[in-house]
């Protein structure tokens, strides 16, 4: 469409300047007539180049330059009136085009008022500023108005072209924005579905009243995973806790792999070290460079003993009324870094350890989202370096569910809100 308008405008200019040239030659204004006819060839060359290169912006700029140059030369050759009139025209034609582009009614009104003023000036100017006597003033006025309309047309086409291009770009941006909204909606729906699926992978309730848990993923899905394992004909309870490096969907996907591996582990689930070795074997070169820290312990409530193995995970806290300590044995290399053969040759294979929990104590398992959280507006200190241990002791006498609720309130107060930079998972066991 814009190409056809551009070519039509140029052809209109050819016809116009042909008429100008013949008119000037008829009134014996040979210089002006030859200039007008020469402009015709420039127009034809511009049209030809446009047909070859199809570059509308360059076509319009060259056409406008030709038009302004031709009018200026013609009016200079005709005399002072035209020069004075053109100066006035140049002063108002450009802003008028901008107005026309956005407010046509105002622009047309302003242009008509300006044209009337120029026509009046044509008759009020003194004789020494008028054109040569070969062409009547009425004819010059008509030519001047025609030239004004010509300039207006070219300027309008130029401005409208760039407005058109801007509208195209705006439309493209709006279209891309709408596509992003649709994609974002799809992603949000898929993340919501992924969250529901992940919620099915972790326990919805505690297996006993002396164990409770708290899980807060930083995003809709997270990389922290935990599970409780019960054994037939036994009061023993297995507690598995892991933390995948990274966040979001990739980490959540790996947690589903961990869950599947645990379900397929068979008798190895009865030994913490053997389960960790099995998971390490199954996930080798399957996690796209991510690693997993994990702790697996089997607690016997009758003897208050726990058999455990640790794959690079933070050691659980033992909380008593007097102090807060940690399990000190068995921390080893994270999962999915080295194959089992390497671990065994380097004497770093996972090994079972056993500890007895003090009467009335608590065992607190956690991921580093708890200990390494810092205030929102400050990068230090970490929660574990602030008053975390004092909070442990403050609520030591509370049952595990109440302990976790009060701990989370203090934790969120320390953070300054409930938006966290990492997943938070805490499991509390009462050794009563």
- Which residue(s) pair with 212 in the sheet? 428
Task: Render pLDDT for 260-289 as a digit per residue (tens, 0 to 9).
Answer: 999 999 999 999 999 999 999 999 988 888
Answer yes or no: is pLDDT of 413 > 80.
yes
Right CATH for 203-431 from 1.10.3470.10, 1.20.120.530, 3.90.1150.10, 3.60.40.10? 3.60.40.10
Identify whether the C-beta of residue 381 lies closer than 8 Å to the C-beta of residue 393.
Answer: no
Task: Identify the pLDDT of residue 83.
Answer: 44
What secondary structure, in 3-state letters, does the chain show? CHHHHHHHHHHHHHHHHHHHHHHHHHCCCHHHHHHHHHHHHHHHHHHHHHHHHCCHHHHHHHHHHHHHHHHHHHHHHHEHHHHHHHHHHHHHHHHHHHHHHHCHHHHHHHHHHHHHHHHHHHHHCCHHHCECCCCCHHHHHHHHHHHHHHHHHHHHHHHHHHHHHHHHHHHHHHHHHHHHHHHHHHHHHHHHHHHHHHHHHCCCCCCCCCEEEEEECCCCCCCEEEEEEECCCCCCEEEEEEEECCCHHHHHHHHHHHHHHHHCCHHHHHCHHHHHHHHHHHHCCCCCCCCEEEEEEEEECCCCEEEEEEEECCCCEEECCCCEEECCCCECCCECCCCHHHHHHCCCCCCCEEEECCCCEEEEEECHHHHCCCCCCCCCCCHHHCCHHHHHHHCCCCCHHHHHHHHHHHHHHHHCCCCCCCCEEEEEEEEC
* Bigger pLDDT: 101 vs 253: 253
Give the integer Cα–Cα distance in Å for 141 and 120: 10
Answer yes or no: is pLDDT of 317 > 70.
yes
Biggest CA–CA distance in the chain, Å, is 125
Average pLDDT over residues 223-227: 90
Instruction: Return the structure tokens found at 353.
Output: 């350890």
The total of other beta-carbon atoms located within 10 Å of residue 291's CB is 19
Task: Identify the pLDDT of residue 72.
Answer: 58
pTM of the entire structure? Answer: 0.62
What secondary structure, in 3-state letters, does 25-54 show? HHCCCHHHHHHHHHHHHHHHHHHHHHHHHC
pLDDT band of residue 42 (cuts 50, 70, 90) is confident
pLDDT band of residue 135 (cuts 50, 70, 90) is low
Mean of per-residue pLDDT scores for the chain: 79
Which among 85-99, 221-235, 386-400 has the top mean pLDDT? 386-400
Instruction: Return the structure tokens found at 363.
Output: 């065992």
226 φ, ψ to 5°?
Answer: -145, 160
Task: Render pLDDT for 3-34 as a digit per residue (tens, 0 to 9).
Answer: 565 566 667 667 777 777 777 677 776 776 77
Sorted by where each begins, the domain ranges of the chain are 2-173, 203-431
Smallest CA-to-CA distance from 314 within 299, 298, 328 is with 328
Identify whether the C-beta of residue 365 lies closer than 8 Å to the C-beta of residue 319.
Answer: no
Task: Identify the pLDDT of residue 297.
Answer: 96
Alpha carbon 296 to its chain's center: 39
* Bigger pLDDT: 107 vs 53: 53
* Bigger pLDDT: 213 vs 140: 213
Average pLDDT over residues 39-43: 74
Identify whether the C-beta of residue 373 lies closer than 8 Å to the C-beta of residue 419.
Answer: no
Task: Identify the pLDDT of residue 183.
Answer: 86
CA angle 285, 277, 330 (to 5 degrees): 120
Task: Identify the pLDDT of residue 23.
Answer: 73
pLDDT band of residue 87 (cuts 50, 70, 90) is very low
Average pLDDT over residues 132-155: 60
Q: What percentage of residues in the chain have a pLDDT greater than 70?
A: 68
User: Peptide bond before 381: cis, by omega within 30 degrees of 0?
Assistant: yes
Answer yes or no: is pLDDT of 327 > 70.
yes
Task: Identify the pLDDT of residue 227.
Answer: 95
Answer yes or no: is pLDDT of 158 > 60.
no
Q: Is 133 exposed, middle or buried (0-12, 13-18, 19+ CB in 10 A)?
A: exposed
199 φ, ψ to 5°?
Answer: -65, -25
Where is average pLDDT lowest: 31-35, 54-58, 349-353, 415-419?
A: 54-58
Instruction: Return the structure tokens found at 86.
Output: 């053109």
Instruction: Return the structure tokens found at 123.
Output: 């008759």
pLDDT band of residue 432 (cuts 50, 70, 90) is confident
- Which residue(s) pair with 176 in the sheet? none
Average pLDDT over residues 334-357: 93
Answer yes or no: is pLDDT of 133 > 70.
no
Task: Identify the pLDDT of residue 229.
Answer: 95
CA distances from 327 to 72, 188, 275, 311, 313 (A): 94, 41, 19, 14, 11
Task: Identify the pLDDT of residue 86.
Answer: 47
Task: Identify the pLDDT of residue 193.
Answer: 76
pLDDT band of residue 343 (cuts 50, 70, 90) is very high
* Bigger pLDDT: 171 vs 207: 207
Task: Render pLDDT for 348-387 as a digit per residue (tens, 0 to 9).
Answer: 999 999 999 999 999 999 999 999 999 988 777 899 988 8
Give the integer Cα–Cα distance in Å for 391 and 412: 13
* Bigger pLDDT: 411 vs 217: 411
Answer yes or no: is pLDDT of 90 > 60.
no
Say how many residues make up the chain. 432
Identify whether the C-beta of residue 20 lies closer than 8 Å to the C-beta of residue 4.
Answer: no
Answer yes or no: is pLDDT of 151 > 60.
no
* Bigger pLDDT: 24 vs 311: 311
């Amino acid at each position: 469409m814009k190409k056809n308008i551009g070519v039509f405008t140029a052809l209109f200019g050819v016809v116009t300047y042909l008429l100008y040239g013949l008119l000037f030659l008829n009134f014996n204004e040979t210089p002006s007539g030859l200039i007008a006819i020469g402009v015709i060839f420039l127009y034809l060359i511009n049209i030809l180049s446009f047909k070859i290169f199809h570059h509308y912006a360059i076509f319009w700029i060259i056409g406008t330059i030709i038009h302004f140059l031709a009018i200026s030369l013609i009016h200079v050759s005709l005399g002072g009136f035209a020069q004075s009139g053109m100066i006035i025209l140049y002063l108002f034609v450009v802003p008028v085009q901008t107005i026309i582009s956005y407010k046509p009614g105002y622009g047309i009104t302003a242009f008509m008022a300006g044209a009337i003023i120029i026509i009046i000036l044509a008759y009020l100017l003194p004789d020494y500023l008028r054109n040569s006597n070969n062409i009547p003033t009425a004819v010059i006025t008509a030519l001047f108005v025609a030239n004004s309309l010509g300039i207006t047309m070219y300027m309008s086409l130029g401005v409208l072209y760039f407005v058109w291009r801007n509208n195209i770009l705006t439309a493209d941006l709006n279209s891309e924005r709408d596509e992003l909204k649709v994609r974002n909606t799809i992603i949000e729906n898929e993340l919501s579905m992924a969250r529901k699926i992940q919620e099915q992978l972790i326990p919805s309730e505690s297996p006993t009243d002396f164990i409770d848990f708290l899980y807060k993923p930083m995003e809709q899905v997270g990389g922290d995973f935990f599970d409780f394992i019960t054994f037939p004909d036994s009061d023993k309870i297995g507690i598995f806790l892991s933390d995948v490096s990274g966040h979001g969907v990739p980490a959540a996907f790996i947690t589903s792999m961990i869950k599947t591996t645990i379900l397929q582990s068979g008798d190895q689930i009865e030994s913490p070290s053997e389960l960790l070795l099995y998971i390490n074997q199954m996930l080798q070169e399957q996690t796209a460079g991510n690693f997993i820290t994990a702790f697996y312990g089997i607690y016997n409530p009758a003897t208050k003993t726990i058999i455990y193995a640790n794959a690079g995970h933070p050691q659980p806290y033992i909380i008593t009324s007097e102090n807060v300590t940690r399990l000190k044995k068995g921390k080893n290399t994270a999962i999915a870094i080295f194959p089992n053969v390497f671990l065994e040759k380097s004497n770093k294979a996972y090994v079972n350890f056993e500890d007895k929990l003090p009467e009335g104590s608590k065992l607190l398992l956690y991921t580093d989202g708890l200990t390494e959280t810092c205030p929102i507006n400050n990068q230090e200190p970490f929660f574990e370096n602030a008053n975390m241990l004092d909070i442990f002791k403050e609520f030591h006498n509370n049952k595990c569910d109440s302990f976790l609720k009060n701990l989370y309130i203090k934790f969120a107060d320390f953070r300054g809100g409930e938006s966290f930079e990492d997943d938070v998972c805490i499991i509390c066991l009462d050794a009563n």
